């Protein structure tokens, strides 16, 4: 079997749903299980409705209701399906009245609230498949084994889920039914609805694929795959053919918002491939996420960057031959709740980056007790996602490029993650460096030698 996951924009309206049903139909013999997000931006609208109820005591789901009913009508869904939608919307209205009365919107209630998006979309989609003669059943995640901890808005699935999911899903497939499962949501052991974090339906899909030993998990998006760079900055950014699970997770953290950062986790132990495809451009090959790449793969997978970073330099001769110095240093960051991203140290100095825009005056006076501190704002982190085994070659090229464009590198860090080399430059120069690096690492691959 395979798992096919469709994101919000892939199932945004009746036309998209018809189109996606066509994609599903073309792969029926592979025994698909579907995982869906809420239609379009429904999750955001639900959160807005929750806030309106909480702040102003107003209960209004007009646009959400209209959009789901319009879609049901355009798809000519039978009365029974419309009744199911109606009853979910009634429950949603009651929840919002509750929020407006008690003026309380806890993380637990928020998860209950946003769950309606996925619960509505799977019912509409399953009804549409049935009207096409494909026997499908819309399922809430908790009915097919998704049990999580109680960390509302960012829950983790518990280990028992795997076996439960395997048993439930395979028995449905064996009885000739196509399961259409809600992404993003689960229930904790008390029976309360939880969510796996925004964008979490990727994780729902990979979990089902790994649990059931699927041939692959297809994640259908509105882009051609994971790209070599941000296309808004690099015109020639192109889809990466293959990346490893580690590289894909690292990319997710560093800004390429294609896959959920935790989505690869369930597949690591099973080696299940994840295929990122574009539902708007079916013929594009997409990106394949796998356990390992062969030796001949290009050394660099993608180049990302993050602006608005502050560089903190701390120099102290006390550090020489000492122990516990770094512990003391990081304890200060912990105490002031400032999160550190990239770090480099020598015998007498530490450089690290934090996100700009935080008040760090108290932290600064704490650190001043340890050593001489210098804070430089307006920096950017450039990250090369690559095979770090070839770091000598990659660094030589990257530094050559920086020299060529006349941009000084202010700090460098090669993480233990084996897939990431990061360095710091001035904010104003980041885009130019990314463009030049992209041209060097990917430009020639296109057979077009361009002047920097
Ligand atoms: N609907 C949820 C969100 O918008 C989950 C998802 O799309 O994966 O974050
Ligand atoms: Mg979404």
Q: Domains of the chain, with CATH numbers?
A: 2-221 (3.40.1160.10), 300-444 (3.30.2130.10)
Ranges 243-252, 267-276, 338-347, most confident:
267-276
Q: Has residue 451 got a pLDDT over 60?
A: no
Does residue 341 contact residue 354 with C-beta atoms inside 8 Å?
yes
pLDDT band of residue 255 (cuts 50, 70, 90) is low
pLDDT band of residue 419 (cuts 50, 70, 90) is confident
> Which of 5, 9, 37 for mutating ligand 1's site (highest number of atoms within 8 Å of CB)?
37
What is the mean pLDDT of the segment spanning 199-204?
A: 96
Ligand 1 atom showing the smallest separation from residue 7 Cα: 7
Q: Percentage of the chain with pLDDT > 90?
A: 77
Q: According to the model, what pLDDT value does residue 150 have? A: 98
Does residue 372 contact residue 314 with C-beta atoms inside 8 Å?
yes
Neighbouring residues of the ion ligand 2, judged by CB less than 5 Å:
8, 37
Nearest of 291, 240, 284 to residue 264 by alpha carbon: 291
* Whole-structure pTM value: 0.87
Q: What is the number of alpha carbons within 13 Å of residue 61 lying toward its C-beta?
A: 24
Which residues are bridge partners to 372 per DSSP? 315
The string of pLDDT tens digits covering residues 279-325 is 999 999 999 999 998 877 788 999 999 899 999 999 987 767 777 88
Backbone angles phi, psi at 59, to 5 degrees: -110, 105
The string of pLDDT tens digits covering residues 268-284 is 999 999 999 999 999 99
What's the gap in Å between 8 CA and the centre of ligand 2?
A: 5
Ligand found nearest the CA of 5: 1
What's the gap in Å between 222 CA and the centre of ligand 2?
A: 11
> Which of 11, 43, 118, 193 for mutating ligand 1's site (highest number of atoms within 8 Å of CB)?
43
Helix (H, G, I), strand (E, B), or coil: what is residue 138? strand
What's the gap in Å between 145 CA and the centre of ligand 2?
A: 22
pLDDT band of residue 254 (cuts 50, 70, 90) is low
Ligand found nearest the CA of 201: 1
What's the gap in Å between 36 CA and the centre of ligand 1?
A: 9
Q: Mean pLDDT, the chain, as a whole number? A: 92
pLDDT band of residue 445 (cuts 50, 70, 90) is very low
For residues 86 and 79, give the distance between their C-alpha atoms in angstroms, rounded to a whole number: 10
As for ligand 1, residues whose beta carbon falls within 6 Å of it are: 7-8, 37-38, 43, 117, 183-184, 198-201
The string of pLDDT tens digits covering residues 137-182 is 999 999 999 999 999 999 999 999 999 999 999 999 999 999 999 9
Nearest of 221, 215, 174, 177 to residue 202 by alpha carbon: 221
DSSP labels, 290-358: ES---TTS-SEEEEEEEEEEEEEEEE-GGGTT-SSHHHHHHHHHHHTT--EEEEEE-SSEEEEEEESSS
Q: According to the model, what pLDDT value does residue 415 have? A: 67
Does residue 191 contact residue 199 with C-beta atoms inside 8 Å?
no
Nearest of 44, 59, 45, 132 to residue 99 by alpha carbon: 59
Q: Has residue 448 got a pLDDT over 50?
A: no
For residues 147 and 318, give the distance between their C-alpha atoms in angstroms, rounded to a whole number: 50
Nearest of 129, 6, 137, 128 to residue 72 by alpha carbon: 128
For residues 442 and 452, give the distance between their C-alpha atoms in angstroms, rounded to a whole number: 13
Q: According to the model, what pLDDT value does residue 416 have? A: 65
Q: What is the number of alpha carbons within 13 Å of residue 340 lying toward its C-beta?
A: 19
What's the gap in Å between 37 CA and the centre of ligand 1?
A: 6
Nearest of 233, 248, 249 to residue 286 by alpha carbon: 248
Task: Answer positive or negative: Cα dihedral of 427, 429, 435, 441.
Answer: negative
What is the mean pLDDT of the segment spanning 260-272?
A: 92
Helix (H, G, I), strand (E, B), or coil: what is residue 157? strand
């Amino acid at each position: 079997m395979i798992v096919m996951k469709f994101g919000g924009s892939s199932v945004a309206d009746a036309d998209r749903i018809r189109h996606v049903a066509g994609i599903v139909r073309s792969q029926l013999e592979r025994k698909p299980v579907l995982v869906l997000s809420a239609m379009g931006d429904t999750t955001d609208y639900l959160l807005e409705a929750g806030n309106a109820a909480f702040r102003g005591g107003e209960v209004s789901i007009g646009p959400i209701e209209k959009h789901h009913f319009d879609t049901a009508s355009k798809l000519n869904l039978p009365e029974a399906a419309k009744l199911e939608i109606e009853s979910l919307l009634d429950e949603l209205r009651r929840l919002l009245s509750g929020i407006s009365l008690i003026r309380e919107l806890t993380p637990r209630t928020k998860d209950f609230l946003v769950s309606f998006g996925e619960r509505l979309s799977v019912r509409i989609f399953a009804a549409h498949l049935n009207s096409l003669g494909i026997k499908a059943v819309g399922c809430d995640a908790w009915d097919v084994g998704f049990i999580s901890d109680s960390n509302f808005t960012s829950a983790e699935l518990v280990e028992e889920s795997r076996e439960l999911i395997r048993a439930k899903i395979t028995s449905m497939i064996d009885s000739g039914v196509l399961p259409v499962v809600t992404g993003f949501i689960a229930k904790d052991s008390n029976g309360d609805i939880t969510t796996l974090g925004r964008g979490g339906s990727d994780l729902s899909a990979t979990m089902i694929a790994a649990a059931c030993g699927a041939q692959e998990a297809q994640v259908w998006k509105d882009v051609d795959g994971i790209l070599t760079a941000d296309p808004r900055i690099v015109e020639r950014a192109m889809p990466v053919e293959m990346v490893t699970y580690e590289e894909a997770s690292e990319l997710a953290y560093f800004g390429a918002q294609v896959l959920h950062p935790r989505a690869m986790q369930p597949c690591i132990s099973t080696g299940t491939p994840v295929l990122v495809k574009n539902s708007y451009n079916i013929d594009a090959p997409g990106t394949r996420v796998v356990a390992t790449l062969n030796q001949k793969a290009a050394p660099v997978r993608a180049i990302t960057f993050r602006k608005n970073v502050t560089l903190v330099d701390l120099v102290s001769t006390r550090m020489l031959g000492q122990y516990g110095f770094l512990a003391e240093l990081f304890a200060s960051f912990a105490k002031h709740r400032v999160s550190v991203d990239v770090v480099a140290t020598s015998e007498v100095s530490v450089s690290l980056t934090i996100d700009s825009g935080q008040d760090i005056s108290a932290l600064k006076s704490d650190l001043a007790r340890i050593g001489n501190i210098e804070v430089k704002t307006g920096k950017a982190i450039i990250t090369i996602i690559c095979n770090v085994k070839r770091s000598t070659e990659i660094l030589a090229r990257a530094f050559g490029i920086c020299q060529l464009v006349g941009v000084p590198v202010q700090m460098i860090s090669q993480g233990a993650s084996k897939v990431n080399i990061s360095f710091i430059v001035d904010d104003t120069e980041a885009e130019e460096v990314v463009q030049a690096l992209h041209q060097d690492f990917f430009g020639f691959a296109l057979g077009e030698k361009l002047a920097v």
